[in-house]
Amino acid sequence: MDRRFDLATAGAFMALGIFIIYQATTIKSGMVRDPLGPRAAFYLTGGIMAVGGLLLIVRSLRAWGSTPGNMMPNEGVEDDPGHPSSAGRAFMLIGACLLYGLAFDPLGYLIATPLFVAVALVILGERKWLPIATIAILFTVINYIVFAQALGVRVPVGPLTGTFRALGLINL
């Protein structure tokens, strides 16, 4: 395996973590304050990604000094037949996460999330549309019920805001 790919992937995760932290600074605090605030989960996630990426970079650079050249011995087991690993798949997932973050507010949770889950499943190799649609819809609905309805977490509903207000499903 080429070490440069490892460094690029680790650098991408570190950059994504820093981007998440930066974007979290723009989140406005609500009227009701809680001990953690609306940014805590994003700071934690971004911090873990940034520190993890940095640690992987340091680890790769240290290992690079032990053997010459860009290639390193393979680790682990061979890929499953028909499902090879690829840096392209990892970068496509990172791109899908970025697009999901950008689409979350204007489209709302109920539109952006099933699209993201479906795209992620396709990137990961699922090709049957019935499982893709079922998983995407069930994941979205169950998480919306748990977080928005049961726990009272305010999530953007996007273009469905008027309909949900009329049905009494949100109090915005």
Burial of 152 (0-12, 13-18, 19+ CB in 10 A): exposed
Query: Is the confidence at residue 32, as pLDDT, over 80?
Result: no
pTM for the structure as a whole: 0.55
The secondary structure of 126-147 as a DSSP string is ---HHHHHHHHHHHHHHHIIII
Residue from 113, 170, 156, 120 nearest 138 by CA = 113
How does pLDDT run across 133-162, given as a tens digit for each residue?
999 999 999 998 888 878 878 888 888 777
For residue 5, the model assigns a pLDDT of 82
Give pLDDT, residue 7.
86
